A = this chain, B = another copy of it.
Amino acid sequence: MSVDLMTVDVPSGSSARVATPEPGDPRLARLSLNQRTTARWSLREAIDGTVTAGLSAIGLWREPVGEVGLAVARTWVEDAGLRVSSLCRGGFFTAADPVERAAARDSNRTAIDEAAVLRASTLVLVPGGLPAGDRDLVGARARVVEAVAELVPYALERGVTLGIEPMHPVYAADRGVVSTLAQALDIAERFPAEAVGVVVDSFHLWWEPGVLEQVRRAGDRILSYQIGDWITPLPADTLLARGMMGDGHIDFPALTSAVSAAGYRGDVEVEIFNAEVWDAPPDQVLATMARRYVELVEGHL
């Protein structure tokens, strides 16, 4: 293989530094596309694009799965020969109001059912933020523990693992009150490892003091390894602030080595919410992420 100097990475526009790995390249064996990285693609297009790029895993979201129906989605991914590296997402269970809490529990049970049907490696739990007008962060965090405890028997019965996703503190108020890997592990370790673990997402965790030690501590609690970069200046919409690996500040070799040393053998899912990435042709997004993955991540697994 040689690097085609006419090949450019997206969205940076810089020249590709490595050749695009071809389908069948063993280095692609654990790379997964989270379908929100190519948000403009339908589920059908995302499955086809994943196969065309030579990947064998995809991370799904409940909403696009719901649009085609669970049974159809399962058939599609099975027929395509893809693993489902994660289902996004359950969680959002920080409400203080009993009616809202019951609704969240029901929604999470449905999400567990869906994850079981799709044979997803894990159901990603995004904890949720502070209820409107509520400033009791300690209380909201305590309710996360209660909500997970309520779901554990249901998840165990269906063979689904719950992956608590610690989120960058920039989201603590409105999206995820679990802010560090240490904190996520403090919660997960209360429950059997067959039921509850954590999602290690580079974008959310790269800044955490001692994060490599926490990854080591996590061991077999790591249910998903998601990658995306921290770029500056931070895009104006913090929900769309993630960058392509290599475009930002994260030391992917170091984090990946730690995840691997902890024993993680699952898929590596690229999850990038970014308006510029979404504006780029999805096949170029896949090609760029495959190049960056083999350059910065794969050799350290």
Contacts and interface: CB of A to CB of B under 8 A. Distances in A.
Contacts of A137: 206-207, 249, 251
A111 interface: no
Interface stretch (A83-91, A97-105, A168-176, A192-200): A168-176
Contact of A207 (B169, B238, B250): B169
Interface stretch (A14-22, A69-77, A116-124, A179-187): A179-187
A130 B231 CA distance: 12
A49 interface: no
Given A183-B209, A251-B135, A173 B141 contact: no
A136 interface: yes
Given A172-B207, A179-B207, 9 more contacts: A130-B249, A135-B251, A136-B251, A168-B169, A168-B170, A169-B169, A172-B230, A173-B249, A180-B209
Interface of A: 130, 135-138, 141, 168-170, 172-174, 179-180, 182-183, 206-209, 212, 230, 232-234, 236-238, 248-251, 254
